[in-house]
Amino acid sequence: MLSNAAERFRAWCIQSETGGALWRFRFAFTALWLTYDLADLIFHGTASILFGSDAHGLFTLQLLLIGAQFLVLANMGARLACFLCFTLRLAEAKFFFGLNDFYYYCAMMLLLSSVSLEGPGQPAKVWPRSALLAQMAWMYFATALLKLNPDWLSGGHLFVRQAYLAGGQGWPYPGFYTACCLNLGAASALAKLGVLAEFTMAILLTMKRWPRLTLALGFSIHLFAALALNVWFFGASMVLGTYFLLPRSSTEPT
Amino acid sequence: MRNACARAREILDAPSFVLALLLLLGLGQAAALALQFQEGFRPFQTAPGRVALSWDMFATHIERCSLGWDPPLPAAEGPFFDLRQKSLALEWQAIADSRNGYRNIAAWACSHYHQPFHALLHCYLPNGKEETSAIECR
């Protein structure tokens, strides 16, 4: 039985498909994070909140990340460049900002660094695409599980973020939204809906059927996070993953 | 050189390498989630803390505050009225996750700018309440 499983795993590891989906995802994912790093560098996004810490170290890391991402986009030593991106972002997370967004980038880039992609029409292994989807499904599951706590379910966490954005940052919530949703009761309802949506995303990404439904749900979750909570790049890269990596038809190998 | 590259690619494409990579990622993230439980997270009872790779986004206890100074801090680039001036409108914001975090920033400003001022905090709390306080810096 064990040898049977090993044999199936070996077969899965060498199974190939046309690499278009992976190629496009790697390009879009890298381009999105390159945009993040360029904007961060030009507008001093993260550097401005270091409060006297090592801004030079961060600047160097950002420059190296930008360079490595250009190499991925140009397909010049892309595998090695992906691994370099993973290492540099890990350093940024470890020494500067331990953000979930950065660890997520690291996990995705580490997986992308294990893919040989010669071009969009060339064959690629099937397993990296499955592993990337599993990674995203696990993230939705884990974050939904951790949100099963009084702080989130009571709406307290959402209330704090939104009240701060409205009162402290002048975030332009529409009048109807301010009237209906900037209170604990509405935030609690939204929070519970959010957990349900994230558990559903985990299931849908694992099943790999209904790509349109999965994409619509993922897009809705992250559009809300962008407009109501000011989280843009992480959500966009999750939506890109769902869009490019999910098989479009039931005949595609996974 | 070409042979070395081909050999390296062969190793990286081998099922044993794939297994090692997937185990590394899978076990690392499972361990991070297990650590959340070990450190006190209990579903429906206790909120998790921050643990890398456990995917605790939006799940932890947070407090947010507006932080301003009166009189404004004499920064090189002009008077510095509040922390919002350090933030970009989108994505990047100068924030802390607790009232103590904001007090630390206020204390940093106290030690950095040698002149008397008040740091004014207006905090938003998870119980739906708001709280205003001031820290005097001499």
Give the tens place of pLDDT for each residue, A132-145: 999 999 999 999 99
Answer whether A184 sits within 8 Å of B19, measured CB to CB: no
Residue A149 pLDDT level (bands cut at 50, 70, 90): very high
Percent of chain A with pLDDT over 70: 96
- Look at A169 and B44 and tell me if their CB atoms are within 8 Å: no
What value does the mean pLDDT take over residues A72-91?
96
**Chain A residues with beta carbon closer than 8 angstroms to that of B93:** 49, 169, 230
- Residue B104's Cα: distance from chain center in Å? 14
DSSP for chain A reads -HHHHHHHHHHHHH-EEETHHHHHHHHHHHHHHHHHHHHHHHTTTTGGGSTTS-HHHHHHHHHHHHHHHHHHHTTSSHHHHHHHHHHHHHHHHHHT---HHHHHHHHHHHHHTT-----TTSEEESHHHHHHHHHHHHHHHHHHHHT-SHHHHTTHHHHHHHHHHHHHS-----HHHHHHHSSHHHHHHHHHHHHHHHHHHHHHHHHT--HHHHHHHHHHHHHHHHHHH---HHHHHHHHHHHHHS-SSTTS--
B-chain CB neighbours of A116 within 8 Å are: 9, 13
At A51 the pLDDT is 62
How many CA atoms within 13 Å lie on the side-chain side of A112?
A: 32
Interface predicted TM-score (ipTM) of this complex, two decimals: 0.90
Query: By CA distance, what is B21's nearest residue in A?
Result: A111
pLDDT in tens, A193-223: 999 999 999 999 999 999 999 999 999 999 9
In the numeric block, the tokens 């790779």 are attached to B53
CB-based contact B55 A100, cutoff 8 Å: yes
Asked if residue A253 has pLDDT above 60, the reply is: no
Cis peptide before B71 (omega within 30 of 0): yes
A246 band by pLDDT with thresholds 50, 70 and 90: very high
**pLDDT more than 90, % of chain A:** 79
Which chain A residue lies closest to B95 (C-alpha atoms)?
A49
Residue A53 pLDDT: 62
Q: Tell me what pLDDT residue A155 has.
A: 96
Q: With an 8 Å Cβ cutoff, are A13 and B59 in contact?
A: no
Rg (CA), chain A: 20
Query: Per the structure block, which two tokens stand in for A61?
Result: 């890391």
What distance in Å separates residue B22's CA from the closest CA in chain A? Answer: 8
Q: What is the mean pLDDT of residues B75-80?
A: 78
The residue with tokens 């959010």 is A194
Partners of residue A136 in chain B, C-beta under 8 Å: none
pLDDT at residue B116 greater than cutoff 80: no
Q: Which residues of B touch A232 (CB under 8 A)?
A: 90-91
Q: Which residues of A touch B14 (CB under 8 A)?
A: 13
Structure-derived torsion over alpha carbons of residues A26, A110, A81, A226, reported in degrees to the nearest 10 = 50
Cα separation, A177 vs A166, in Å, equals 11
Indicate whether B1 pLDDT > 70.
no
Q: What is the pLDDT, as a whole number, of residue B118?
A: 87
Asked if the model's pLDDT at residue A251 lies above 70, the reply is no
Closest residue of B to A156, CA-based?
Answer: B126
What does the pLDDT look like over A19-54, one tens digit per residue? 789 999 999 999 999 999 999 999 888 887 776 567
| A185 to chain B: closest CA residue | B128
Structure confidence by residue, pLDDT tens digits, B21-54 = 999 999 999 999 999 999 999 999 999 999 999 9
Picking from B13, B25, B29, B57 by the largest number of A CB atoms within 10 A of its own CB, the best residue to mutate is B57
Residues of B with CB below 8 A from A138's CB? Answer: 29, 55
Beta bridge partners of B136: B118
Question: What six digits make up the tokens of A112?
Answer: 């992308």
Q: What angle do CA A185, A226, A59 make, to 5 degrees?
A: 130
pLDDT of residue A250: 54
Task: Calculate the CA A9 to chain-centre distance.
Answer: 27
Tell me the C-alpha distance between B122 and B84, whole Å.
Answer: 13
**Spatial contact of A155 and A188, defined as CB atoms under 8 Å apart:** yes
Mean pLDDT to the nearest integer, B80-94: 83
Of the partner residues A13, A154, A231, the one whose CB lies closest to the CB of residue B15: A13
Domain ranges of chain A: 1-125, 126-254
Pairs of residues, one from chain A and one from chain B, whose beta carbons lie less than 8 Å apart: 168
What pLDDT is attached to residue B132? Answer: 95
Q: Please spell the DSSP secondary structure of B4-30, one letter per residue.
A: HHHHHHHHHHSHHHHHHHHHHHHHHHH
Q: Is the dihedral of CA A4, A10, A16, A22 positive or negative?
A: positive
Contact B88 A138 (CB under 8 A): no
pLDDT for A115: 86
Contact residues on chain B for A184, CB-CB shorter than 8 A: 127-128
- Out of B36, B84, B126, the one facing A168 most closely (by C-beta) is B84
Chain B environment of A226 (Cβ under 8 Å): none
B135 against A214, higher pLDDT: A214
State residue B92's pLDDT score: 86
Q: Do A149 and B90 touch (CB under 8 A)?
A: no
Write down the pLDDT at residue A121.
78
The whole-angstrom distance between A15's CA and the closest CA on chain B is: 11
Q: What is the mean pLDDT of residues A100-119?
A: 93
Interface contact B60-A151, CB threshold 8 A = yes
